[in-house]
Amino acid sequence: MASEIPESMKAIQLIHYKQPYQLNKVSVPKIGDNDLLVKIKAAGFCHTDYQVWEGVYGSPTPIIGSHEPVGVVVAVGDTAQGKWEVGQRVGVNLFQHACHTCWGCKSFNDIRHCQEKGVAGLFNDGGFAEYMVADADTTVLLPDAIPFEQAAPLMCAGITVWEALQRCALSTADPIGIVGIGGLGSLGVQFAKALGHPVVAIDNRPEGRALSTQMPHKADLVVDSTDSGALDKIKEWAGKGGLAATIICNDDVAVAEWSLKLLRPFGKTVPLGLPPSGFKCDAFDLVFQNLTVIGSLVGTKQGIESAMEAVVNYDIRSHVTCYTIEDVPKFPEIYADGHVKGRLVMKID
């Protein structure tokens, strides 16, 4: 069952690391029995996409970037019939095609730990194209209330910070610090506020600090991490020795290490940035304060659905700047400038 599908499509391909993306004509991909063909309507540019462009993951080239794609189903594989229909609005999970036989699948039944999975935008083609293959088992249905350009950032930024908050398992009155107010952090502030937490937004960029007060759910306190009095200001505001948790939404190693000092005894931190050089922490902060460092990898299909439900119920929005597919080759340069506000999103009408 399929709608009218062309033989070729426009696609943004990374051919060589640290070189401009190329806008090429390529064949529309073929789907398997348990796949969907999705006509892309929007796709976000994440920090991880920038790292793919840099070559951090050793991604195969040529590769089509973006692991934040959303669109409309235009073809359904034989096995997927009955699960999905042509015309449905969907979000494409970056994790695809679990093998169901490796130790990761058998031990955890969680595609994130499958040893043979595909990872769209990192090791397999992603969403910077007119069409994309999606796994029928990991694809999510988009609520009608969420526009495509708003849905795209939820596929990575949204679910990543939502999952991090869930992993902290805090009481609603516990104060939280969101460090780095970009695509992830701006959603993190809103999710945390919607869940009932007092929130301090921490960023050394004026764009990030401004964004934290321009969203539907605003931070209670906004602090410049380079301010000499930032530590005392945050701990006094939080009370009880400091914050209950911090969510680190950038890959600044020094800021992540400094943020441990913001935590009260038994505080938790979730570092979501992925600095190639790794993280550092002060052993005395970690041990003497009984702190917990939590690893958190994106999220499950169920987690994405839960995050989208919160987005609809609490009117949570990303700050997005939309571009055409022809503009996407400029994304790495725009992002590297350091003054991006919110999310860069490719939108196709």
* Per-residue pLDDT tens over the stretch 205-245: 999 999 999 988 999 999 999 999 999 999 999 999 999 99
Residue that is last in its domain, among 276, 293, 310: 293
37 and 162 co-located in one domain: no
Residues 58 and 170 in one domain: no
C-alpha radius of gyration, the chain, whole number:
20
Q: What is the rounded distance in angstroms from the CA atom of residue 37 to the CA atom of residue 27?
A: 13
At 172-182, the pLDDT tens digits run 999 999 999 99
- Comparing CA positions, the residue from 214, 271, 276 lying closest to residue 246 is 271
Class of residue 82 by CB neighbours under 10 A (exposed 0-12, middle 13-18, buried 19+): exposed
Q: What single string gives the DSSP state of each residue in 62-95?
A: SEE--S-EEEEEEEE-TTTBTTB-TT-EEE--SE
Asked whether residue 31 is assigned to any structural domain, the reply reads yes
Tokens of 30: 């073929």
- CATH classification of the domain holding 77: 3.90.180.10
pLDDT for 108-157, tens place per residue?
999 999 999 999 999 999 999 999 999 999 999 999 999 999 999 999 99
The DSSP letter of residue 1 is -
Residue 197 lies in a domain: yes
Q: CA-based diameter of the chain, in Å?
A: 63
Of 256, 276, 293, the position where a domain reaches its end is 293
Q: What is the pLDDT of residue 216?
A: 84
Q: Whole-number mean pLDDT of the chain?
A: 96
Q: Which helix (H) or strand (E) holds 49?
A: helix 47-54
125 assigned to some structural domain? yes
pLDDT, tens digit, 9 for 90 and up, residues 243-269: 999 999 999 999 999 999 999 999 999
Distance, CA of 36 to CA of 140 (rounded, Å): 11
In a domain, 3, yes or no: no
Cα 232–Cα 233–Cα 234 angle in degrees, nearest 5: 95
Question: What distance lies between CA 58 and its chain's CA centroid?
Answer: 20
Specify whether 91 is located in the same domain as 164: no
129 and 162 inside one domain: no
- The verdict on residue 2 lying in a domain is no
Mean pLDDT across 37-59? 97
Number of domains comprising the chain: 2
User: Are 262 and 325 found together in one domain?
Assistant: no
pLDDT at 306 over 80: yes
Range of the domain at 130: 8-142+319-347
Backbone angles phi, psi at 344, to 5 degrees: -85, 130
Q: Within a domain: residue 324?
A: yes
Please check whether residue 148 lies inside any domain of the structure: no
Q: 220 and 97 in one domain?
A: no
Does one domain contain both 209 and 135? no
Within 13 Å, how many C-alpha atoms sit on residue 41's CB side?
21
- For residues 190 and 63, membership in a common domain is answered with no
What's the whole-number mean pLDDT along residues 98-114?
97
Q: Is 96 helix (H, G, I), strand (E, B) or coil?
A: strand
Instruction: Provide the CATH number for the domain around residue 268.
Output: 3.40.50.720
Token output for 280:
């550092």
Give dist(CA 205, CA 255) in Å, integer: 13
CB-based contact 167:294 (threshold 8 Å): yes
For position 1, what pLDDT does the model report?
47
Q: Are residues 177 and 240 in the same domain?
A: yes
In this structure, are 228 and 287 located in the same domain?
yes
β-sheet bridge partners, residue 90: 71, 141
Residue 221 and residue 111 in one domain: no
285 plus 179 within the same structural domain: yes
Is 182 inside any structural domain? yes
> 72 vs 40, 69, 168, CA distance in Å?
7, 10, 34
When pLDDT is cut at 50, 70 and 90, the band that residue 2 belongs to is: low
Contact at 8 Å (CB) between 257 and 279? Answer: yes
